[in-house]
Amino acid sequence: EAGVAQSPRYKIIEKRQSVAFWCNPISGHATLYWYQQILGQGPKLLIQFQNNGVVDDSQLPKDRFSAERLKGVDSTLKIQPAKLEDSAVYLCASSLVGAGGPRSEQFFGPGTRLTVL
Amino acid sequence: AQKVTQAQTEISVVEKEDVTLDCVYETRDTTYYLFWYKQPPSGELVFLIRRNSFDEQNEISGRYSWNFQKSTSSFNFTITASQVVDSAVYFCALSGGSNTGKLIFGQGTTLQVKP
């Protein structure tokens, strides 16, 4: 079974530029998550989708970050304009179900390492 | 508020030693779930275990074992006879039973196993 796919793996941009990340979850997984992991810290949830609807985006900086999952499968996360503090690894994860309990284990992709200069 | 604390920032052991990674959590939920993930140098988080708040039985999987104690709000992870391949960052995480499934991660513990 294929895992969570993400691209690109690495991205370097100048501040104030825009960038987009792509994620394809495990087939059949209804729930998709985007996490931000700053160096030396644990991942922090940015947004959670259940199919193509947003469940939780309380920690998404909506003035510059946006995300969509139009057909309930793959998803894109965009930053516009980027700031220096956005330098981090952006992790995508998916799970069969969204709430805690059986089948709620989240499986992570390899991440996209973003460097903002 | 939910919180996970991994007080050990870095641990270094010699191969074949046993090592325990500590995890302390805070939550007001009566139903919640605890997780451990491994993050090797490649960067991908690997799921190790999920434990719900009603199941305090310890679990053993090969060289890995987990000790869940509600009385002390701890969910510790022990690796027996450590190997160099165990070198990674290990994260403990918490998910509330009533919420969306969002994982609250600790800061992580970097484990270095030397040959």
The pair of structure tokens assigned to A12 is 């370097």
According to DSSP, residue A24 is labeled: E
Q: Which of A35-39, B31-35, B58-62 has the highest mean pLDDT?
A: A35-39
Mean of the per-residue pLDDT values for chain A? Answer: 92
Beta-carbon separation of B50 and A105 below 8 A: yes
User: Is there a cis peptide before residue A81, judged by omega within 30 degrees of 0?
Assistant: yes
Region B69-97: what's the mean pLDDT? 94
Tell me the per-residue pLDDT of A50-61, one tens digit each, with 9 for 90 and over. Answer: 888 999 999 999
According to DSSP, residue B84 is labeled: G
Using pLDDT thresholds of 50, 70 and 90, give the confidence band for residue A105. Answer: confident
Tell me the per-residue pLDDT of A7-34, one tens digit each, with 9 for 90 and over. Answer: 999 999 999 999 999 999 999 999 999 9
Beta-carbon separation of A104 and B33 below 8 A: yes
Tell me the per-residue pLDDT of B84-103, one tens digit each, with 9 for 90 and over. Answer: 999 999 999 998 765 567 89
The nearest alpha carbon in chain A to B103 belongs to A45
Region A53-77: what's the mean pLDDT? 93
Tell me the per-residue pLDDT of B24-34, one tens digit each, with 9 for 90 and over. Answer: 999 988 888 99
Residue A104 has what pLDDT? Answer: 79
Q: pLDDT: is B76 or A104 the higher one? A: B76
Task: Report the Cα B45 to chain-centroid distance in Å.
Answer: 12
Residue B98 has what pLDDT? Answer: 59
The answer to whether the Cα torsion of A74, A65, A91, A12 is positive or negative is: positive
Q: Quick check: A58 and A48 in contact, CB under 8 A?
A: no
Task: Tell me which of B36, B51, B103 to substitute to probe the interface with A (most A C-beta atoms closer than 10 Å).
Answer: B103
The nearest alpha carbon in chain A to B48 belongs to A105
Residue B100 has what pLDDT? Answer: 67
C-alpha distance from A55 to closest chain B C-alpha (Å): 7
According to DSSP, residue B43 is labeled: -
Q: pLDDT: is B91 or B54 the higher one? A: B91
> Does residue A72 register a pLDDT over 90?
no
Beta-carbon separation of B100 and A98 below 8 A: yes
Using a 10 angstrom Cβ sphere, with 0-12 exposed, 13-18 middle and 19 or more buried, the burial of residue B70 is exposed
Chain A residues touching residue B45 (CB < 8 angstroms)? 43, 91, 93, 108
Listing DSSP states for A52-110 in one string gives: TEEEE-TTS-TTTEEEE-TTSS-EEEEESS--GGG-EEEEEEEESSSSSSTT---EE--
Beta-carbon separation of B95 and A100 below 8 A: yes
